[in-house]
Amino acid sequence: MTQSGYATERETTEGRVFTVTGGDWNTVTDSIDPLSNEKIVVNMGPQHPSTHGVLRLVLELEGETVTEARPVIGYLHTGIEKNLEYRNWTQGTTFVTRADYLAPLFNEAGYCLAVEKLLGIEDQITERANTIRVLFMELNRISSHLVWIATTGMELGAISMMLYGFREREYILDIFEETSGLRMNHAYFRPGGVAQDIPESAVKKIRDFLTYLPKKLKEYEALLSGQVIWHERTQGVAVLDVTGCLSLGVTGPVLRSAGLAWDLRKTMPYCGYENYEFDVPTAQTGDVWGRYLVRMAEIRESLKIVEQALDRLKPGPIMVADKKIAWPAQLAIGVDGMGNSLEHVAKIMGQSMESLIHHFKLVTEGFRVPPGQVYVGIEHPRGELGVHAVSDGGTHPYRVHMRDPSFVNLQAIPAMAEGALLADVIAGGASLDPVMGGCDR
């Protein structure tokens, strides 16, 4: 048994094996002399109701003041990026959608845009497919922000906010279920378009939602915005100015709350966002209060985009015309709501032997993507979501790496927490809105 700078290691017949342990805890505690130093070390998480998932914070305290904070991640590691290398390009959407599980449609959108860029078919995506993508991404942005305000309200004492936020989110999940068949992890966006068209019943529900939610937003603000305790817990808490945000790579509402109107939908448009009228909300405070104001304003801007998308929803195809890529699309669902209808199967099998072989090859192997590498960035509810996709010319991705905003933004916790009170760690961490599925993908 030997010791390296990394971890304990030993040689076996299978090769070198490393034993990785939680040594960081011992390192921190051993450095503190309990007799001459009044500092204590508190382990917060990973099983903690206020860390937004399995996030661990090792906090060094002097009284109620945090003198050092260490975020520890990796407790929700799913190997999504590695799994993509063993599935075809279309099947990849079923994996990436599970990364940030509160914003699955953004994961799918970033991945599909990267695949389409590798294929060189960005200009062939139909107007209806792009409009549906924008429509569903903005609904997903609203649902994600509703979870943020619900959970942050609960963590700061406004417990009823938890009930209201999730109540309104259910409305959006019903719309997703009616269209894609699933409430979460939809795999609805596919390279080349979307899996199936949006039904009229879902369009009606969305129009009803446009009149329903604004009234509820006013209720939220009546509950929180003038509340003295809410002010005390958010104003001047976990401050991070523009310089700090840019130094750490922090994007999204946290950056915009510090005054910089950086939004990829405006600065680097995709999916036709340049054709929509909306504002980029900002605040100047750079604190938890500013992040609350920005997210509330973003919900209203997303409602404006959703309304415009509904008006732009013209009849037409939802998938590219190239049949060597367009799978699966134009499906006819069976009477049980699952699988293909018999008529659809008969049509595929009855056309010609060549088309049946082609369909079989497309479903089992998938299409080939020309060799190359691309990077695509989109505006996720938590900041810039980037997808770096590499193809070696095969039917599987050679490598896909996601720049998840939760992962990058978590770097800001020490900057916001050190020197502040222990209670403010909760408010500051919540204001980043981290989702550990995206962080540990």
Write out the residue range of the structural domain in which residue 248 sits.
80-325+367-439
CB 427 within 8 A of CB 233: yes
How far, in Å, CA of 232 to CA of 65, rounded?
A: 17
How far, in Å, CA of 206 to CA of 159, rounded?
A: 28
**432 within domain boundaries:** yes
How far, in Å, CA of 365 to CA of 14, rounded?
A: 32
3-class secondary structure, 400: strand
3-class secondary structure, 96: helix
Largest CA distance in the chain: 85
**357 within domain boundaries:** no
162: burial class by Cβ within 10 Å (0-12, 13-18, 19+)? middle
Q: How much is the mean pLDDT over the chain?
A: 88
How far, in Å, CA of 425 to CA of 56, rounded?
A: 12
**Predicted local distance difference test score (pLDDT) of residue 360:** 80
In tens, the pLDDT along 211-250 reads 999 999 999 999 999 899 999 999 999 999 999 999 999 9
The CATH number of whichever domain residue 153 belongs to comes to: 1.10.645.10
The continuous run of DSSP H or E covering 190 comes out as strand 189-190
**346 within domain boundaries:** no
3-class secondary structure, 194: strand
Compute the average pLDDT of residues 111-131.
94
How far, in Å, CA of 14 to CA of 235, rounded?
A: 56
In tens, the pLDDT along 332-387 reads 666 666 666 777 777 767 776 777 787 788 888 889 999 999 999 999 999 999 99
Choice among 193-207, 270-284, 345-359, 400-414 with the minimum mean pLDDT: 345-359
**Predicted local distance difference test score (pLDDT) of residue 277:** 96
In tens, the pLDDT along 9-54 reads 788 887 777 666 655 666 766 666 665 567 888 888 788 777 777 8
Provide the whole-model pTM. Answer: 0.88
**Predicted local distance difference test score (pLDDT) of residue 353:** 78
CB 197 within 8 A of CB 332: no
3-class secondary structure, 31: coil
How far, in Å, CA of 190 to CA of 93, rounded?
A: 7
Total structural domains within the chain = 1
**181 within domain boundaries:** yes
**410 within domain boundaries:** yes
User: Which of the pair, 30 or 209, is modelled with greater confidence?
Assistant: 209
The answer to whether the Cα torsion of 352, 357, 358, 363 is positive or negative is: positive
Residue type, 115: V
Quote the tokens at residue 260.
Answer: 């910089």
Whether residue 133 is predicted with pLDDT greater than 70 in this model: the reply is: yes
How far, in Å, CA of 252 to CA of 256, rounded?
A: 6
Quote the tokens at residue 167.
Answer: 């109540």
Compute the average pLDDT of residues 396-402.
95
What are the DSSP calls for 377-388, one per residue?
A: EEEETTEEEEEE
**Predicted local distance difference test score (pLDDT) of residue 330:** 54
**Predicted local distance difference test score (pLDDT) of residue 321:** 86
**163 within domain boundaries:** yes
3-class secondary structure, 66: strand
| Residue 106 neighbours by CB distance under 10 Å | 27
**Predicted local distance difference test score (pLDDT) of residue 1:** 47
Instruction: Give Cβ neighbours of residue 329 (< 8 Å, ≥ 6 apart).
Output: 190, 192, 193, 194, 195, 196, 318, 319
**205 within domain boundaries:** yes
In tens, the pLDDT along 141-195 reads 999 999 999 999 999 988 999 999 999 999 999 999 999 888 999 999 999 999 8
**331 within domain boundaries:** no
